């Protein structure tokens, strides 16, 4: 009875509930500000690291990981562990997934993942950066639940996971909701704050534009509100999905939704649209279907003939989750205490953590280097006195006496004398001695560097910035979520632009309206192109285009990138293409029935539907290429038309476009022209009502040829895959550079190899009409340069 403690029940309940609340806050729901992880996530990553489930190793069953985690570290059920593992593998949940999954890991439709016995997983390269240096005493370790093993209290976390991947959790009386952000922006902000610790949130917002969600969308919260959220550590932002209006034959329209807001269940979203129709709240919709696949979202909303597409789209934004508000709450654990931080606070806590990791890692490396140098110096002493060392060892009765004699003779430490005794006889050669001297010099340099880092905070900051630069190079990417400031409900589908595209991926995109003449804007864009084009860069396209129109860019590697014009950078910007890729074509996609021709250097031609370009992911391969091949041009189908393909050696083949059938994006294409040995395709074009073919050689010889000259003697077109006819007579070191179909009076833009843009008016007074076997006249004389591309401006009124 003496062990019974008398306590008022209200005090016991209060105490027990507080213990429970703190357990939930610290042990389950709120992430640590340093690595951005909850305990279960940290334990999963650490267990996978210990098991060697690296990105370069085979996948292992998820059940194996879950079993390890609950057996060694996590005193909770397997369902909680597997749910956390699945979430870290979903690219629609995490902006930068930490686990690579193989198998069914759920979907944006809300489908559950397969059972853990069916799926496999391993760490991503980014997760390896989260765990980098964990074996170098960089973080504190603690006992697991049964004190049989040690686990990390926090991960070294070279990557700013908390702010980049975000976090959500509901604890007792507390919740957190940190949205994901773009790593490139966060890294630049971290570098700035590390150099200028007194920086304000407003200054950091120069780099951090707002949340960046893995599902894309458009952030329409005004900039001043975003800055206020980052200062307060709480608030909400509004995100809307991306949609475009497409005109169909018969004066009909449809809405294509191709991005939905973050954490919107696609199935529930479609059900909501159907419910609006069923209840008669939206009478303009005639059909609704989901054509999404693994390449991206595609929801089709077919409209009735009389429906106003912009009004329908406005209603979808207003009445469905196509536009939603996302709450933000920067509540995190700082030293095991829950706190609500501002943006600067979150970034500064990460910097502090990394400085501590750098310090501890450097101390570890310094200790290791000094220990090794101590051993190497002992070995060098032994090499310098090799005969005496061998004599002592041979004369000793056992190892311990040999060790003592070596210590006395040469003033060695216990560790040095032991290393000498462990040394093989082969190490006494001159070459091995040189290696040891070299190793000693390298170790001294390392020790000097480590001591330099430890001696000043500036050096630690330098190392931190170098780490950020390294990660930026490996993992930096473009934003997925656009940031715009939208006034009221105004939609911008009918804004008009003049868009110029260059081969480097650079674009110039200028808006015009009733206040500014189209001709003026066109001339401004053209002047801008002419004055900024660089050697090796050429003009690919210049056209008038509406902001609601999708435009695709095909590169030399056979990849297509597409975007709404409204989503492209305004003014001067850069397309998000891969390093080294060259843009060869830019074309509009305005109809479901449209087709595209793709032509390669080795004479392969392919015809495909716009469906396979615009309605898949915004970056995908549309033609598989052989190793030595590349795409030279792609152009929109135009009915009725004749296809023309021309080669470097001056051959040109015309054939009926119907000889190339429509194939899917996985098809390789068919032979367009029978090439002579050493020849290659330079380009191709469609010729419809045009009367002439214009040819320009590398040396500037120019002429017009009547298109009928490329027909057979019977007045018929040749067949696909045959030899071409001579289009121009070439001198010994000349080649056909460019060709296209023209009318008299057309204005063309010519790009040269050294980065010039020239204007050419098609006029038979200036350009001779000649036989196809003639050379033409050297009208374009550019010393040491050559014409490489002809572009027809696609502006509704002809330009002079």
Transcribe 105-137 into DSSP letters: ---TT-PPPPPTTT-EEEE-HHHHHHHTTTTTT
How would you class 243 by CB atoms within 10 Å of its CB: exposed for 0-12, middle for 13-18, buried for 19 or more?
buried
Task: Determine whether 118 is an active site residue.
Answer: yes
Q: The tokens of 467 are what?
A: 């780490």
Whole-number Cα distances in Å, 141 to 34, 46, 138, 152, 779:
15, 12, 9, 4, 78
Dihedral sign, CA of 487, 492, 494, 499? positive
Phi/psi for 499 (5° steps) reads -120, 125
Let me know: does 687 contact 707? Beta carbons within 8 Å: yes
Whole-number Cα distances in Å, 381 to 368, 387, 409, 417:
20, 12, 11, 10
How would you class 26 by CB atoms within 10 Å of its CB: exposed for 0-12, middle for 13-18, buried for 19 or more?
middle
Longest dimension (CA), the chain: 120
Three-class DSSP labels, 284-341: CEEEEEECCECCECCEEEEECCCCCHHHHHHHHHHHCCCEEEEEEECEEEECCEEEEC
Let me know: does 616 contact 550? Beta carbons within 8 Å: no
Q: The tokens of 171 are what?
A: 């604890």
Candidates 142, 154, 123; CA nearest to 59 is 123
Q: The tokens of 17 are what?
A: 């509930």
Q: Which of 118, 437, 615, 711 is catalytic?
A: 118
Q: The tokens of 316 are what?
A: 């979808």
d(C-alpha 498, C-alpha 551), whole Å: 13
Whole-number Cα distances in Å, 282 to 147, 278, 720, 730:
62, 8, 51, 66
How do 482-483 and 218-219 pair as beta strands? parallel
Q: What is the DSSP letter of 549?
A: S
Transcribe 89-103 into DSSP letters: H-TTT-SS-SEEEES
Dihedral sign, CA of 75, 77, 81, 84? negative
Candidates 793, 786, 732, 785; CA nearest to 762 is 793
Phi/psi for 200 (5° steps) reads -90, 170
Let me know: does 169 contact 175? Beta carbons within 8 Å: yes
Q: The tokens of 553 are what?
A: 């860019």
Report the catalytic residues: 118
């Amino acid at each position: 009875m003496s062990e019974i403690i008398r306590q008022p029940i209200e005090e016991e309940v209060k105490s027990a509930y507080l213990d429970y609340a703190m357990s939930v806050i610290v042990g389950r729901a709120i992430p640590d500000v340093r690595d951005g992880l909850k305990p279960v996530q940290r334990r999963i990553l650490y267990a996978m690291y210990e098991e060697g489930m690296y990105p370069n190793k085979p996948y292992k069953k998820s059940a194996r990981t879950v079993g390890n985690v609950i057996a060694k570290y996590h005193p909770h059920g397997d369902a909680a562990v597997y749910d956390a593992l699945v979430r870290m593998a979903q690219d629609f949940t995490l902006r930068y997934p930490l686990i690579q999954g193989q198998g069914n890991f759920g979907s944006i439709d809300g489908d559950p993942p397969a059972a853990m016995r069916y799926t496999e997983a391993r760490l991503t390269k980014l997760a390896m950066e989260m765990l980098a240096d964990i074996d170098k005493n960089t973080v504190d370790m603690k006992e697991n639940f049964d004190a049989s093993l040690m686990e990390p209290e926090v991960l070294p976390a070279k990557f700013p996971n908390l702010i980049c991947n975000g976090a959500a959790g509901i604890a007792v009386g507390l919740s957190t909701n940190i949205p994901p952000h773009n790593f490139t922006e966060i890294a630049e902000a971290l570098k700035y704050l590390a150099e200028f610790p007194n920086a304000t949130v407003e200054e950091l917002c120069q780099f951090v534009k707002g949340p960046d969600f893995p599902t894309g969308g458009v952030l329409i919260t005004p900039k001043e509100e975003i800055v206020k959220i980052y200062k307060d550590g709480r608030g909400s932002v509004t995100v809307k999905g991306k949609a475009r209006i497409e005109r169909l034959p018969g004066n009909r329209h449809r809405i294509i939704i191709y991005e939905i807001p973050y954490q919107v269940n696609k199935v529930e979203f479609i059900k909501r649209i159907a419910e609006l129709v069923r209840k008669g709240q939206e009478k303009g919709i005639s059909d609704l279907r989901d054509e999404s696949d693994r390449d991206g979202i595609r929801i089709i909303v077919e409209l009735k003939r009389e429906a106003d597409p912009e009004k329908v789209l406005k209603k979808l934004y207003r009445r469905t989750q196509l536009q939603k508000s996302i709450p933000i709450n920067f509540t995190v654990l700082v030293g095991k205490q829950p706190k609500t931080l501002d943006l600067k606070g979150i970034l500064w806590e990460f910097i502090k953590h990394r400085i501590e990791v750098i310090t501890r890692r450097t101390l570890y490396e310094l200790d290791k280097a000094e220990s090794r140098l101590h051993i190497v110096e002992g070995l060098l002493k032994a090499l310098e006195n090799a005969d005496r060392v061998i004599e002592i060892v041979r004369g000793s009765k056992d190892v311990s006496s040999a060790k003592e004699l070596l210590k006395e003779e040469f003033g060695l430490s216990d560790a040095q004398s032991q290393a000498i005794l462990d040394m093989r006889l082969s190490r006494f050669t001159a070459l091995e001695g040189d290696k040891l001297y070299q190793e000693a010099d390298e170790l001294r340099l390392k020790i000097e560097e480590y001591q330099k880092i430890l001696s000043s905070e500036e050096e630690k900051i330098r190392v931190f910035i170098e780490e950020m630069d390294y990660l930026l190079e490996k993992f930096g990417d473009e934003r997925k979520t656009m940031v715009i400031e939208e006034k009221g409900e105004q939609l911008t589908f009918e804004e008009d632009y003049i868009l110029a595209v260059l081969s480097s991926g650079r674009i110039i995109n200028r808006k015009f309206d009733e206040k500014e003449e189209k001709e003026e804007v066109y001339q401004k864009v053209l002047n801008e192109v002419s004055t900024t084009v660089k050697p090796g860069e050429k003009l690919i396209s210049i056209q008038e285009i509406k902001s609601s129109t999708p435009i695709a860019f095909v590169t030399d590697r056979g990849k297509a990138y597409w975007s709404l014009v409204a989503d492209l950078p305004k003014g001067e910007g850069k397309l998000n293409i891969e390093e080294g890729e060259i843009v060869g074509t830019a074309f509009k996609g305005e109809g479901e029935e449209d087709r595209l021709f793709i032509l390669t250097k080795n004479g392969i031609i392919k015809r495909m539907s716009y469906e396979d370009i615009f309605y898949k992911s915004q970056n995908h391969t549309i033609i598989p290429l052989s190793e030595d091949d590349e795409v030279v041009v792609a152009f929109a189908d135009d009915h009725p038309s004749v296809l023309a393909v021309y080669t470097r050696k001056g051959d040109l083949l015309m054939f009926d476009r119907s000889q190339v059938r429509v194939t899917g994006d996985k098809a390789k294409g068919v032979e367009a022209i029978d090439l002579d040995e050493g020849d290659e395709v330079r380009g191709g074009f469609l010729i419809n009502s045009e009367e002439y073919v214009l040819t320009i050689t590398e040396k500037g010889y120019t002429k017009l040829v009547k298109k009928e000259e490329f027909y057979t003697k019977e007045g018929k077109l040749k067949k696909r895959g045959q030899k071409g006819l001579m289009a121009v007579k070439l001198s010994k070191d000349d080649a056909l550079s460019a060709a296209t179909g023209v009318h008299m009076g057309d204005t063309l833009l010519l790009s040269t190899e050294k980065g010039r843009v020239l204007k050419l008016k098609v006029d038979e007074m200036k350009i001779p009409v000649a036989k196809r076997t003639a050379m033409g006249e050297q009208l374009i004389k550019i010393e040491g340069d050559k014409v490489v591309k002809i572009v027809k401006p696609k502006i509704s009124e002809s330009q002079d």
